[in-house]
Amino acid sequence: MTGVLLPSLAGPYGADRPDALTVAGRAASREELVGAAGAVAGRIAGASAVAVRADASLETVVAVVGGLLAGVPVVPLPPDAGPAERSHILRDSGAELLLGGDGADGVEGVPVDVRERADWNKVEPAPDTTALILYTSGTTGAPKGALIPRGAVAADLDALAEAWAWTPGDTLVHGLPLFHVHGLVLGVLGALRVGSRLVHTGRPTPGAYAAAGGSLYFGVPTVWGRVAGDATAARALSGARLLVSGSAALPAPVFRDLAELTGHRPVERYGMTETLITVSARADGDRRPGCVGTPLPGIATRVVAEEGGGIGELQLTGPTLFSGYLGRPEATAASFTDDGWFRTGDIAAVEPDGTHRIVGRASTDLIKSGGYRVGAGEVENALLDHPAVREAAVVGVPHDDLGQQIVAYVVADGTGEDELINFVAGHLSAHKRPRRVVFLEALPRNAMGKPQKRLLPPL
């Protein structure tokens, strides 16, 4: 049973309802979810890791819960991942099975059927065992698998429930992807740990959020910007209890428009795949534009300023941290200071009352577009795999809707913008595609021959 990690699934099911969770229009009770997940657990028990084709469906929830029941680390695979990204994630993670897969990629597919029922009564694994392996981009190279322990998930969700006064009486609504921390850990496991109802809208559109009638809403800033741009949808959220934004900075004008239209000042929170959510505004506290609140219970933060001044790299410790990058001890070691603090790479300032502000990132090679973290190096490597491309430099350019938009500067012959955009979308995944491609005669380089991204011509 997974009653320690997800107590609401352990029963009794007296207060259960047929629509305890709804994903993209299909509903299930907790008892049905646990029965179907038990059948999955029975099929995968003993595997070293299982991948899940993580589209926005009930099957994904059943598959992830099945992995957690069985104590098998779950590797969510973006459903539109192209061949390069799929094979990297499957090979690097060592996933033996692909839940919801068709046997392609040389990894055995295992069906997931939400109508199945099986009991699963094995003892729950220890808190330090890996619950999830989440693939996340660095500045260069292919994504790394962040090992997320069960205990970190539990600690984070409890801290968030306390900060947001999140209870079984809530109905959580969101439509975020189920292969990242925001949509999967907070947005699915959060509801199952707290015991609140969940409505996943399939896509995070303003109309779907408005129609869902929830009390607690999650979104990335791009989603909130679109809601704020649709006054009718925004006003429909006035009956909610709490609107929460995260995964990227919420622009101050969006904060103000949302507050005006919905009557709710949004709660902003800050996190990373490697640390889960660590800093948040509180349901019973002050919510200011540009501020991500205070450290969650159990989290310690410090800002390491290079030359005095209050602004510098945000570093963290606490029970929500990952246990390392799979198979990459050097990268794991490099992400911690000598005295054991995790280096976020984000630049922050702390106000006298302890409120944190995220003011930027140390590296321009990590791009946040629509709340997705995309490494410039990964997109550059994908472009260089196209036979016509000789050189590539990828940057994030400020964008009203996406926060940053991915722009590729390339030196290439005999190809065009659309072809390269579609090439990256098909090779990696759609959200990693450049939205613009600029063709240059040569990349600007310094005397050592190193490309100088800050000298690239503006769009």
- The option from ligand MLC, ligand AMP, none interacting with 39 (CB < 5 to 8 A, set by class) reads none
427 binds, among ligand AMP, ligand MLC, none (CB under 5 to 8 A by kind): none
Cα angle vertex 256, ends 250, 257, to 5°? 100
Q: In this complex, which beta carbon is closest to ligand AMP, that of residue 44 or of residue 184?
A: 184
The CA distance from 301 to 347, in Å, is 12
Could you tell me how many residues of this chain bind ligand AMP (CB under 6 A)?
Answer: 20
Binds ligand AMP by CB under 6 A, chosen from 248, 382, 402, 408: 248
Q: Does 424 bind ligand AMP (CB under 6 A)?
A: no
Rank residues 430 and 438 by Cβ distance to ligand MLC and give the closer one.
Answer: 430
Question: Counting contacts by CB under 6 A, is residue 144 touching ligand AMP?
Answer: no
271 binds ligand AMP (CB under 6 A): yes
Smallest distance, ligand MLC to C-beta of residue 187, A: 9
Q: Which stretch binds ligand AMP (CB under 6 A): 66-74, 245-253, 334-342, 434-442?
A: 245-253
Query: Smallest distance from the beta carbon of 411 to ligand MLC, in angstroms?
Result: 22
Nearest to residue 53, comparing CAs of 44, 64, 42, 41? 64
- Least Å distance, CB 98 to ligand AMP, is 23
Residue 289 CB neighbours (<10 A)? 17
Q: Which is nearer to ligand AMP, 66 or 370 (CB)?
A: 370
Cβ neighbours for 115, distance < 8 A, ≥ 6 positions apart: 36
Beta strands 197-200 and 21-23 are: parallel
The angle, 0 to 180 degrees and rounded to 10, between the axes of the packed helices 58-70 and 30-44 is 60
Question: Under the criterion CB under 6 A, does residue 358 sit at the interface with ligand AMP?
Answer: yes
Check binding of 272 to ligand AMP (CB under 6 A).
Answer: yes
Looking at the Cβ atoms of 39 and 146, the one nearer to ligand MLC is: 146
Point out which residues bind ligand MLC (CB under 6 A).
80, 176-177, 180-183, 204, 220, 222-223, 246-247, 271-272, 370-372, 421-422, 425, 430-431, 433
Is residue 267 near ligand AMP by the rule CB under 6 A?
A: no
Contact track, ligand AMP, 167-186, x by CB under 6 A: -------------xx-----
In the chain, the amino acid numbered 116 is: E
320 binds ligand AMP (CB under 6 A): no
- Which listed range, 59-67, 211-219, 240-248, 431-439, lies at the site for ligand AMP (CB under 6 A)? 240-248
Candidates 2, 262, 273, 404; binder of ligand AMP (CB under 6 A) is 273
Nearest distance, CB of residue 331 and ligand MLC, angstroms: 19
Q: Which residues are CB-contacts of 116 (< 8 A; sequence separation ≥ 6)?
A: 35, 36, 39
Q: Among 26-34, 208-216, 246-254, 293-301, which window interacts with ligand AMP (CB under 6 A)?
A: 246-254
For ligand AMP, the closer of residues 209 and 322 by Cβ is: 322
Cβ-proximal residue to ligand MLC, closest one: 370
Closer residue to ligand AMP (CB): 163 or 272: 272
Stretch that binds ligand AMP, among 3-11, 162-170, 271-279, 408-416 (CB under 6 A): 271-279
Reference 100, options 89, 108, 109; nearest CA is: 109
With CB under 6 A as the contact rule, the residue among 196, 344, 404, 429 that binds ligand AMP is: 344
Count of Cβ atoms closer than 10 Å to residue 329 Cβ: 9
Nearer to ligand AMP, 291 or 382 (CB): 291
375 belongs to the binding site for ligand AMP (CB under 6 A): no
Q: Which does 268 bind (CB under 5 to 8 A by kind): ligand AMP, ligand MLC, none?
A: ligand AMP
What's the closest the beta carbon of residue 35 comes to ligand MLC, in angstroms?
A: 29
Provide the minimum distance between the beta carbon of 199 and ligand MLC in the complex, in angstroms, as a whole number.
Answer: 16
Q: Which residues make up the interface to ligand AMP (CB under 6 A)? A: 136, 180-181, 246-249, 268-273, 292, 344, 346, 358, 361, 368, 373
